Amino acid sequence: MISTNDTRTPINGVRHLLSAAAIGMALMVGSTAQAATPGITGTGAVQTFNLTAGPGVITQPDGMQIYSWGYGCTTPASATFAPFPGSCPLMQVPAPTLIVTEGKPVTVVLTNSLPKGAGNTSILFSGFQVTGGAGCVAGLRVPEALPGGTCTYTFTPTAPGTHSYYSGTQSDLQVEMGLYGAVVVLPANDSVAQCTNTTLHPGAIPLATLGGFNGANDDYRLAASALDHPASCYDREYLFQWAELDPNIHRQAEVQANFIATCTAPVSSGTPAATNPTNLPCPSSLDVLTEPYHPRYFMINGRSMPDNMDANYAPNYPNQPYNANPHMHPGELTLVRAVGTGRWQHPFHEHGNHVRILARDGFPILAQTNATGAACTGAACPLGGRMEFDTDTTPGQTLDGIFYWSGKGLNWDIFGHTPNVASDVVLSLTESGHTVTAATYTPNAVVSSSGPANYATIQGAPSSAYNGYLGTYPITIIPCAAPYTTGNTCFTYTATTTGLPAFTQSTSVGTFAPAVLVKQPTTVVTDSDQNPTCAPDSNGYYTAASPSPGPATRPTYTGTTMSGGNRNYYEWCADHDHPLEANPVGPVAGGGPATLPDPLVMTNGLWYNGTPYLGPDAVNRSRGPTPLPPGGALQNPPAESGIAFMWHSHNEREITTNDVFPGGMLMMMLVDPYVWYIDENL
C-alpha cells in the first residue's frame, strides 16, 4: 500500500509522484548485489579532494523524489575510486566516502554551490585538527565557504578508523538536507604485516591478494586491519550511515529556494510578475522551519529498504551511490563501520551474532592491562570494547566493530552432512517375548527377513529405487495367525540391522499398523560434500590451521567460480554430522531432535532457501526429491542458498518508509557458502 497522506504538489515539470503501478515496475538492478566500503581516494602526495555542496534529488522506494543537498565531486570525471570503479556526481547522499591514510596530509577544497539564499556552508571533520585556508571565511565552529565561493580545509589524520564529516553551518537544516558523509582512515602501519595471527584469523582472505583496491580474486578490502592493532584485522568491510529524513523540511527548502531563485523585484505599479505574485520584497535567505521534527524516511547510506540492497552505483539512484547489502562466508571477520547522522539515535540490531566494538570515533577501546594483569600500552593491550547485538548509532558518532558468523554451537550440522554408508540393511527379527496365552503357540527364537509363514511375514521391503537415500519406507509385518488371537499382545519384534538402531514393533492381531524401517543405501553416495573431512583447529573450526587430516584450504575463485579449496571451510567440527531432523530426508540421516513443521501451514520467506541448511549441496541433499523453494528465492537463488539475517533498526517504527512496512532502516545480511563467490563489485 502506498501512503497517500503526503499531499506534496509537484513543483515543476520534472518531479512527480509515482503511481503505485509505476513503483511496481521500478527497476531492480542486480538481484544479488553486494557491498564493500566504496569511496574515493585523494590524488597526489597530499591527498586532495575537490568537493561541491549543491542541490539535487534523491528517491525513495515509495516513489517520492526528494529535493536534497549533498556533497559531490567538483570534477566527477577526475575522481579516483576504491575498491572498485564507481561514479561521483556533483551531488550525492551520503557524500563521497573519503578514503585516506593515517599520517598523510589531506586537502579538501569545498565549493559552495548551494542554491541562492542558502548562505554559507562548510565541512566539519569530526575529530580532526582542521585548518581553513584559501577562500574560507570564519564560521562559528569551522571555516565556511561563501555562496559561490570555496574553502580549503587541510588536516592530517592521526586516528585510523571510521569518522564522520558533515556541514558545520546551520547544521539542523544542512545536515538534514543531506550534507553528511564519512572519512575512512586506513592505518599507517603496514596493516598486512600485523595480520599474521592465523590462530585468531584462520579464515582470512589470503593476504597476498590484498592491495589493489580492485577486488582481486575475492578481496574487496581497503586495508587488512581497521586500526593499528592486530586484533582489528578483517576480511570484509561494510559502511552504514544512518539518517532519518523529514520531507516537510525538504519541501520548504525546495519551495523557498525556487522562489528566491526566480523572484523578481516588486513593481510599484502594474501587474506583479508571475515570479513574485505577492509583489513583496524578494527574500534573500531561506527561512525553513526545522521544528517540529517529524521524519518519515529512515535511510541507511541514503537509501531506504529495499533500494539499499540494490548495487553500489546503480544507475537508478544517480545521487545515492552507496548500498547496504552485506554478505560474508562463515568465519570471515567482517568490519562493521557505522556512522550516526541526523538527529536521532538508532539501535542497530545485527541478527546472527554479536559485534565486538573496536573503536568509537576512531579511538580504540582497549584493556588497561594484559591478561596477566600487567600494565600495557597501545597495540599490546587486549581489546576492551563490548560485545553488542545492538550497536547504538548516535548522531555524529562512529563505531568500528568486528562481526562474524560461524554456526558454532547449534548442536546440528548446518551443512547437512551425513556419513556415507556402504552396506544395505540386513534385517533380522528376534521375537523377544509375548503374552499370548493360547496354548498352541510355539516359540520361534529367530525369524528371518522373509519370516516364517505361520508367525510373521514381511512385505513391502524397500525398493532398490530408494538406494542412495535414507528414508522412511513402509513395510508390513503380518503377525501370527488365528490360533494366537486372544486379544493380547502377540509379539514384540526387535529388528537388528546393520548399523541401525533397534526397531521395535509390538501389536495385537488384527490391528497391526505398517511398520517403518530405515533403509540405507546400497551404494556410496558420490556427493563429495555429503561427508567431507572436518578436523578442528584450536578454535574448533576446519581451517588452514587444522591438524591432520587437515589442513583445510580456503576456497579460491576463477572469475566468480570456486576453483579450489574446501567447501566446508570454517565448519564448526563439534557438530559435524549431527542430525537436526528426527526423520531422514534424502541422504541426510534422521535421528536428530526436531521434526520440521507441516509446510502447508507455513509461509516461505523471500530469502529462505527452503531448508534449514547452508549451501546448494546441502539444500539439494536435504530436500530430497521435493522441489524447494517453489520458484526459487529471488534474493537468495538456488546456486547461492545462503542463510539470511536481518540487520535493522530496533526502533522498529524506523523500518518503514513513509508509514509503509517494510522499508526504512532494514537490510538483509547473507551468510553464503564458500561455493558462492561474493562479488561486491555488483
Q: How many angstroms separate the CA atoms of 173 and 252, rounded?
A: 11
Can residue 644 be called a binding residue for other proteins (CB under 8 A)?
yes
Q: Which of 225, 341, 520, 568 binds other proteins (CB under 8 A)?
A: 520
Q: Which of 312, 319, 539, 681 binds other proteins (CB under 8 A)?
A: 539
- Minimum CB separation from other proteins for residue 248, in Å? 12
* 15 vs 354 by CB, closer to other proteins: 354
CA distances from 289 to 170, 250, 252, 292, 490 (A): 12, 10, 8, 8, 88
Q: Which of 169, 341, 656, 681 binds other proteins (CB under 8 A)?
A: 656
CB neighbour list of residue 563: distance below 8 Å, 6 or more residues apart = 555, 556, 557
Nearest to 590 by CA among 440, 441, 473, 678: 473
Can residue 282 be called a binding residue for other proteins (CB under 8 A)?
no
Q: Is 108 in contact with 166 (CB distance < 8 Å)?
A: no
Query: Which grid coordinates belong to 221?
Result: 578490502
* 216 vs 387 by CB, closer to other proteins: 387
* 98 vs 515 by CB, closer to other proteins: 515
Backbone angles phi, psi at 23, to 5 degrees: -65, -40
* 75 vs 472 by CB, closer to other proteins: 472
- What single letter denotes the amino acid at residue 292? P
- Minimum CB separation from other proteins for residue 452, in Å? 26
* 241 vs 520 by CB, closer to other proteins: 520
Q: Which of 254, 529, 581, 679 binds other proteins (CB under 8 A)?
A: 581
Question: By CB under 8 A, which span of 175-183, 265-273, 378-386, 449-457 interacts with other proteins?
Answer: 378-386
Q: Which of 30, 540, 637, 638 binds other proteins (CB under 8 A)?
A: 540
* 111 vs 530 by CB, closer to other proteins: 530
Q: Which of 315, 419, 460, 564 binds other proteins (CB under 8 A)?
A: 419
* 46 vs 639 by CB, closer to other proteins: 639
* 295 vs 616 by CB, closer to other proteins: 295
The site for other proteins, by CB under 8 A, has a size of 142
Within 10 A of 652 (CB to CB), how many other CB atoms are there? 14
Q: What is the DSSP string of 394-452?
A: -BT-EEEEEE----TT-SS-TT-------S----EEEE-------TT----SEE-TT--
User: Residue 220: left (phi > 0), alpha (psi -120 to 50), or beta?
Assistant: alpha
Between residue 661 and residue 680, which ones bind other proteins under the rule CB under 8 A?
661-663, 668, 671
Q: How many angstroms separate the CA atoms of 349 and 345, rounded?
A: 13
Between residue 426 and residue 485, which ones bind other proteins under the rule CB under 8 A?
469-472
Query: Which grid coordinates belong to 312?
Result: 553500489
Can residue 574 be called a binding residue for other proteins (CB under 8 A)?
yes
* 128 vs 572 by CB, closer to other proteins: 572
Between residue 83 and residue 122, which ones bind other proteins under the rule CB under 8 A?
none
Q: How many angstroms separate the CA atoms of 157 and 185, rounded?
A: 7
Can residue 580 be called a binding residue for other proteins (CB under 8 A)?
yes
Can residue 306 be called a binding residue for other proteins (CB under 8 A)?
yes
Q: Which of 28, 260, 282, 379 binds other proteins (CB under 8 A)?
A: 28
Q: Which of 501, 514, 549, 564 binds other proteins (CB under 8 A)?
A: 501
Q: Which of 93, 436, 518, 619 binds other proteins (CB under 8 A)?
A: 518
Between residue 584 and residue 643, which ones bind other proteins under the rule CB under 8 A?
584-586, 589-608, 610-612, 623-631, 634-635, 643
Can residue 152 be called a binding residue for other proteins (CB under 8 A)?
no
Cα 401 from chain centre: 14
Positive or negative CA dihedral for 26, 16, 299, 152?
Answer: positive
Q: Which of 148, 499, 514, 564 binds other proteins (CB under 8 A)?
A: 499
CA atoms within 13 A of residue 97's CA, in its CB half-sphere: 33
Q: Which of 409, 443, 510, 559 binds other proteins (CB under 8 A)?
A: 409
Between residue 232 and residue 271, which ones bind other proteins under the rule CB under 8 A?
none
Between residue 380 and residue 399, which ones bind other proteins under the rule CB under 8 A?
381-384, 386-390, 392
Q: How many angstroms separate the CA atoms of 324 and 306, rounded?
A: 10
Q: How many angstroms separate the CA atoms of 183 and 308, rounded?
A: 20
Nearest to 167 by CA among 184, 143, 183: 143
Can residue 500 be called a binding residue for other proteins (CB under 8 A)?
yes
Question: By CB under 8 A, which span of 170-178, 521-529, 563-571, 583-591 interacts with other proteins?
Answer: 583-591
Between residue 176 and residue 235, which ones bind other proteins under the rule CB under 8 A?
197, 199-200, 231
- Minimum CB separation from other proteins for residue 646, in Å? 5
- Minimum CB separation from other proteins for residue 622, in Å? 8
User: Residue 565: left (phi > 0), alpha (psi -120 to 50), or beta?
Assistant: left
Q: How far apart are the first and last CA of the chain?
A: 30
Residue 548: Cβ-neighbour burial (10 angstroms; 0-12, 13-18, 19+) = exposed
* 178 vs 352 by CB, closer to other proteins: 352
Q: Is 236 in contact with 221 (CB distance < 8 Å)?
A: yes
- Minimum CB separation from other proteins for residue 533, in Å? 15
Q: How many angstroms separate the CA atoms of 206 and 209, rounded?
A: 6
* 8 vs 104 by CB, closer to other proteins: 8
- Minimum CB separation from other proteins for residue 585, in Å? 4
CA distances from 272 to 11, 265, 284, 286 (A): 20, 9, 18, 22
Nearest to 78 by CA among 94, 96, 104: 96
Query: Which grid coordinates belong to 629?
Result: 523453494
Nearest to 427 by CA among 475, 478, 466: 475
- Minimum CB separation from other proteins for residue 111, in Å? 35
Q: How many angstroms separate the CA atoms of 509 and 478, rounded?
A: 9
- Minimum CB separation from other proteins for residue 675, in Å? 17
- Minimum CB separation from other proteins for residue 403, in Å? 8
Can residue 372 be called a binding residue for other proteins (CB under 8 A)?
yes
Nearest to 423 by CA among 523, 342, 340, 508: 523
Can residue 379 be called a binding residue for other proteins (CB under 8 A)?
no
